[in-house]
Structure 1
Amino acid sequence: MPNISQKGQNMPQSPIRKLVPYAEAAIREGRTIYQLNIGQPDIKTPQGALDAIKNNSIEVLSYSHSAGFLSYREKLAEYYKKHDIPVSSDDIIITTGGSEALNFTMGSITDPGDEIIIPEPFYANYNAFAETSGVNIVPIQASFEDNFALPPISEFENLITDRTKAILLCNPGNPTGYLYTKDEIQQIADLALKHDIFVVADEVYREFAYDGVTHHSIMSIAGLEEHAIMVDSVSKRYSMCGARIGCLVSKNKEVTAAAMKFAQARLSPPTFAQIASEAALDTPQEYFDDVNKEYTLRRNILIEGLEKIKGVKVAKPKGAFYCIAELPVENAEDFAKWLLENFQHNNETVMVAPAAGFYSTPNTGLNQVRIAYVLKRENLERSIAILEEALKKYNK
């Protein structure tokens, strides 16, 4: 029979979704699963976004402009200006999710064999996007003990070669929840200017910053206009993961011109989802204030609960809605499978994401898991209790 491509063989499985067959089997057996593995918020989507679709009178569901609705881009530019991100509608390309924006970015700024430096652990699909584009990820390991703060800038500089095209940051971080300080962002900006490389910032969790800490966008750094590329999405901000609407933002006209060719090749982003996303921009600040309060409470419940479990260590996040926990096990993936295949407590179990898949360096993070605190508080409390019982039994 014909062979599939080497690229197809090399594409990594998602650590977030690879255990789904085990979960489906557990559900068929009648078990309840608390899903801590995936960043799917249970927060209600803003009603205005839902009503914009429900009450629409479109008779022909047509293509949009390849860059997305002009009205949406103009409104989005106004939103960014309120967040000290001075861009215009011409600097924005609407994409099918933040994932497509990252793919467009890699396609626009790299050639096969080029390198992108990324602090790890990082969003697992960066590995897949790099494989698709023929890009080599050069990881630089952030420290669990330091809550995954930015590694020393000298370590970044030591990794820069003539094939380095960009440094990629996720801010706040997925899977770590780390929120970079203004000084850390400035250090990366200065390094990029020194070596004339891009800084790509995945800022889809911008609205989720806790404990009075402020998010600092790469797009707000003066002098970095030709080097900065921002990736964004409505998925988490408005609890609209299924809309699959994101954007690529850059003031570098060569970058946006190149990205537009990729956008034209896929024709256009989805029309109904753009309508909902444009309407979502009218969401009042109270919505985000309430959401942040809720996630802060959930985070505190999770972190305090995990810290009470014998042998568990956890890094405290300042943003997003994830944390990395070290478990008293040798292989977290085996443990995660066992939770779904062989364990139940009162006919309930939990599903976690093994963290090894969030690293590029082999055999790293083997005893770590990513936990998303996207469940109601009572379900988080129950999940912690189940996890404690599971670890006791597993380690016997």
Structure 2
Amino acid sequence: MPKISNKGLSMPQSPIRKLVPFAEKAAKAGKSIYYLNIGQPDIKTPTIAMQAVKDADIEVLSYSRSEGSEQYRTKIANYYKNNDIHVKHDDIIVTTGGSEALLFAFGSIMDVDDEVIIPEPFYANYNGFSTASGVKVVPVISKIEDNFALPPIEEFEKLITPKTKAILICNPGNPTGYLYSKEEIEKLAAIVKKHDLFLIADEVYREFAYDGATHYSILQVDGLEDNAIVIDSVSKRYSMCGARIGCLVSKNKDVIATALKFAQARLSPPTLAQIASEAALETPQSYFDDVIEEYVERRNVLIEELNKIEGVQVANPKGAFYCIAQLPVKNSDVFAQWLLEDFDVDGETVMVAPAAGFYSTPGVGLNQIRIAYVLNTESLKKAVNILKEALKVYKD
């Protein structure tokens, strides 16, 4: 029998999706499930985006340019200008989701066995993207006791080798919800300039900054033009996860020219989704004001309820819509599966994402889970109550 590649065997399972078969089985058994495992907002997609697809006068659904339509990229550049980020349309390549933008970035700046330093915990698919690209993730651990703040910059410097090509951050963070300050971004900017590295920032949660804080982009740092690569997406901003439209942004012309070759190899991003995404740029600020108010309320309810559970420690997120909770269990993978297979409260249970998959360091995060607060407050209260009751009876 032909063999699967070593790369294929090394590809990690998604901690967000690997429990889906158990959830489906639980649902078929009649259980109601509160899905806290995946960042799929229940916020409605802006009507203007959906209407644009309905109104599209298209007789032939053709390819777009490999880098995305010029009209759409020009409007993206204007969106950035309104956020005090000054780029041109030809600094932007439209991609099939932020995922493809990351793959293009890895492919453009790193060769097989090169290294990227990432504060962990981090978005689980970074492990998958690095494996697919033949790149080694070098983790620097941030701690729940520090609310997952940026580790001391000296810890990054200790890890830099001749193989190091980039530092990657997610800001605000998935899965931690941590929002990096301007001072933290400037520390990272200084170290990548000192060592001639790239700084990649996954900024897909830019709009979701709470408690009066503002997001500071790496593209706003003076003198970082050659080092900065931003990953962006419409998925969370406009609750358009299924559109699969993102972009790679950089003022480094060599990066853009190289990424374009990867874009040409896959032909083009989806045409109808670009139409929807272009229209979404006209979404009024009131939409975001309402969404942020809703997420702040959800966060406050979630953190308050989790803090009532004995033995649970939780970080307080300042952005995005995730948090990491540390539980009094030995292995959250086993616990999460048990919740679906063997536990319910009045026919209801919860699905969470075990957090070990958001680390690359073996054995770290085994007693943690990621919670996406994408449900309404009433559902969040019920879900946390189920967790509380489950922890009363669960035995490792």
TM value normalised by structure 1:
0.99
Query: Does residue 143 of structure 2 align to residue 172 of structure 1?
Result: no
SS at match of 1:166: strand
Which string of whole-angstrom CA distances, capped at 9 and with x for unpartnered residues, describes residues 178-205 of structure 1? 0000000000000011000000000000
CA distance in 1, matches of 2:381, 2:158: 44
The number of aligned residues is 396
Shift of 1:395: 3.8
Shift of 1:256: 0.4
Letter matched to residue 170 of structure 2 = C
RMSD: 0.6
Which string of whole-angstrom CA distances, capped at 9 and with x for unpartnered residues, describes residues 46-76 of structure 1? 0000000111121100000000011100000
CA distance in 2, matches of 1:308, 1:264: 53
Letter matched to residue 166 of structure 1 = A
Counterpart position of 2:329: 329
Counterpart position of 2:193: 193
Counterpart position of 1:132: 132
Letter matched to residue 3 of structure 1 = K
TM value normalised by structure 2:
0.99
SS at match of 1:251: coil
Counterpart position of 1:58: 58
Which string of whole-angstrom CA distances, capped at 9 and with x for unpartnered residues, describes residues 187-233 of structure 1? 00000110000000000000000000110000110000000000000
CA distance in 2, matches of 1:137, 1:379: 36
Query: Does residue 228 of structure 2 align to residue 222 of structure 1?
Result: no
Letter matched to residue 199 of structure 1 = L
Query: Does residue 301 of structure 2 align to residue 280 of structure 1?
Result: no
Counterpart position of 1:374: 374
Shift of 1:239: 0.1
Which string of whole-angstrom CA distances, capped at 9 and with x for unpartnered residues, describes residues 217-253 of structure 1? 0011000000000000000000000000000000000
Counterpart position of 1:232: 232
CA distance in 1, matches of 2:286, 2:37: 28
Shift of 1:177: 0.2
What does 1:3-82 correspond to in 2, within 5 Å?
A: 3-82=3-82
Shift of 1:173: 0.2
Query: Does residue 148 of structure 2 align to residue 148 of structure 1?
Result: yes
Shift of 1:30: 0.8
Shift of 1:116: 0.3
CA distance in 1, matches of 2:87, 2:106: 21
Letter matched to residue 326 of structure 2 = E
CA distance in 2, matches of 1:25, 1:364: 29
Counterpart position of 2:209: 209
Runs of 4+ displaced beyond 4 Å: none
Letter matched to residue 198 of structure 1 = F
Counterpart position of 2:352: 352
Letter matched to residue 336 of structure 1 = A
CA distance in 1, matches of 2:141, 2:82: 34
SS at match of 1:350: strand
What does 1:305-344 correspond to in 2, within 5 Å?
A: 305-344=305-344
Counterpart position of 2:242: 242
Counterpart position of 1:388: 388
Segment drifting more, 265-274 vs 53-62: 53-62
Letter matched to residue 182 of structure 1 = K
Counterpart position of 2:2: 2
CA distance in 2, matches of 1:53, 1:83: 26
CA distance in 2, matches of 1:254, 1:162: 21
Letter matched to residue 36 of structure 1 = L
CA distance in 2, matches of 1:90, 1:25: 48
Shift of 1:84: 1.3
What does 1:256-267 correspond to in 2, within 5 Å?
A: 256-267=256-267
Which string of whole-angstrom CA distances, capped at 9 and with x for unpartnered residues, describes residues 136-190 of structure 1? 0000000110000000001101111111000000000000000000000000000
Which string of whole-angstrom CA distances, capped at 9 and with x for unpartnered residues, describes residues 117-146 of structure 1? 000000000000000111000000001100
CA distance in 1, matches of 2:65, 2:155: 42
Counterpart position of 1:95: 95
Letter matched to residue 38 of structure 1 = I
Query: Does residue 123 of structure 2 align to residue 123 of structure 1?
Result: yes
